[in-house]
C-alpha cells in the first residue's frame, strides 16, 4: 500500500534530486530505515534493502516501490550483517542489478532492556556483533563502490556517502542499556574514522542519532505504553519525533546541501538527550531503586520468555 508523502518526507525537497542514484540499506525493513529509503526512492533513487527475515524484507521492498512509479527496489532476505560473506553477496547482487551503490544507510541494530547484573556475555556480544561488527562488515562491503561513485558522479548530488543510524544513549549513559551504550559508541567512532580515512577519496561519513520516535519497534522494546506520556513530558520539544524527521535528515546529508558535512553527528531527538536520562524504564523501574532491588524487566516488547522450572 502506498503511503502519503507527508508520512515520510517534507515538501521542501525538489523532485528527482537523486535520479539515477542507488542507495543500499541494512535494516531496511525496519520502521526508521524504511522511511529513510522511501524518501530517497520518492526523490529518484533506486534501492536495495537487506534483512534477516525474507518475507518481511521482500514485502517491504514492494512497498517502497510505491513511492515512485518506475522505481526499482531489491529486497534481499537471509542476510545477517554479522556474516561478511552474506553481506558481500548482497552488495554484489545490488551492483549487478542496479548498476552500483552511491549511498549507504547502515541501520541494522539490536536492543532490549536489561540491568548489567542480568546481562549475559552472549546477550552483550549479540548486540555488539550486530551493531558494531555488522556496521564494519557493511562498510567494508560497500566502500569500493562508494569510492567509485564519488570519483565518477557527474550529475545531481555526488555519490560516495554513508549514514550510520545510531542513538544518543551513550552521551550520558543509561541504566538497563549497557550493551547498547557500548555498541552505539562504537558505531559513532567507526563513522568518524571512515570520514578521516576516506574523506580524501571523496567520501562523507556521518551519523544520524534518532531520539524517541513514535511508532517504532524501538519504542515498543524500550518502554511500556503506560509510561510513555510521562516520559514525553521530559522532551524539550514536548512530543515524540516522527520517522519523517529522520528521513528528512537523511535526505539532507545525502544532498548537495551537505557537501561539506563529514564526520558529524546529526541528533534528531527534540533535545531529549539533554534532559534526565534516569527515567529509562518507567514506573516500577525507577532509578536507582529498580537496580538496587534486583528486579527483572517486564511489560515491554521483545523479552525472552522464562523457561518453566521443573
Write out the catalytic residue numbers: 166, 184
Residue of 309, 298, 292, 267 lying closest to 113 (CA atoms):
298
CB of 266 within 8 A of CB of 257? Answer: no
CB of 160 within 8 A of CB of 144? Answer: no
Whole-angstrom distance, CA of residue 77 vs CA of residue 49: 8
To which residue does cell 551537505 refer?
Answer: 258
Task: Tell me the Cα Rg of the chain.
Answer: 19
Residue of 183, 155, 156, 152 lying closest to 169 (CA atoms):
183
Local structure of 154: helix, strand or coil: coil
Q: CB count, 10 Å around CB of 260?
A: 7
Sequence-distant (≥ 6) Cβ neighbours of residue 211 within 8 angstroms = 168, 235, 241, 267, 268, 269, 270, 272, 273
CB of 66 within 8 A of CB of 35? Answer: no
Whole-angstrom distance, CA of residue 78 vs CA of residue 273: 35
Q: CB count, 10 Å around CB of 212?
A: 22
Residue of 201, 5, 19, 184 lying closest to 107 (CA atoms):
184
Amino acid at each position: 500500500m502506498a503511503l502519503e508523502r507527508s508520512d515520510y518526507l517534507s515538501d521542501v525537497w525538489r523532485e528527482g534530486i537523486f535520479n539515477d542514484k542507488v542507495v543500499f540499506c541494512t535494516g531496511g525493513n525496519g520502521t526508521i530505515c524504511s522511511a529513510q529509503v522511501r524518501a530517497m526512492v520518492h526523490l529518484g533513487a533506486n534501492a536495495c534493502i537487506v534483512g534477516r527475515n525474507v518475507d518481511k524484507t521482500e514485502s517491504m521492498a514492494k512497498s517502497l516501490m510505491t513511492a515512485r512509479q518506475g522505481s526499482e527496489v531489491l529486497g534481499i532476505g537471509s542476510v545477517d550483517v554479522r556474516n561478511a560473506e552474506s553481506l558481500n553477496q548482497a552488495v554484489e547482487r545490488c551492483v549487478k542489478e542496479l548498476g552500483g551503490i552511491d549511498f549507504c544507510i547502515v541501520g541494522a541494530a539490536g536492543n532490549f532492556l536489561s540491568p548489567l547484573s542480568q546481562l549475559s556475555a552472549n546477550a552483550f556480544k549479540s548486540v555488539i556483533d550486530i551493531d558494531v561488527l555488522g556496521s564494519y562488515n557493511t562498510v567494508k562491503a560497500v566502500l569500493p563502490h562508494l569510492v567509485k561513485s564519488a570519483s565518477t558522479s557527474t550529475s545531481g548530488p555526488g555519490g560516495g556517502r554513508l549514514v550510520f543510524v545510531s542513538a544518543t544513549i551513550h552521551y550520558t549513559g543509561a541504566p538497563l542499556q549497557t550493551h547498547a551504550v557500548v555498541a552505539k559508541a562504537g558505531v559513532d567512532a567507526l563513522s568518524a574514522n571512515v570520514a578521516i580515512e576516506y574523506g580524501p577519496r571523496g567520501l562523507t561519513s556521518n551519523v544520524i542519532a534518532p531520539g524517541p520516535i513514535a511508532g517504532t519497534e524501538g519504542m515498543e522494546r524500550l518502554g511500556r505504553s503506560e509510561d510513555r506520556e510521562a516520559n514525553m513530558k521530559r522532551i524539550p520539544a514536548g512530543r515524540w519525533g516522527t520517522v519523517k524527521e529522520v528521513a528528512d535528515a537523511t535526505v539532507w546529508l545525502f544532498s548537495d546541501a551537505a557537501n561539506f558535512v563529514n564526520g558529524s553527528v546529526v541528533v534528531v531527538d527534540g533535545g531529549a538527550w539533554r534532559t534526565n536520562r534516569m527515567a529509562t524504564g518507567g514506573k516500577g523501574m525507577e532509578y536507582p531503586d529498580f537496580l538496587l532491588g534486583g528486579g527483572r524487566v517486564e511489560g515491554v516488547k521483545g523479552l525472552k520468555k522464562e523457561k518453566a522450572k521443573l
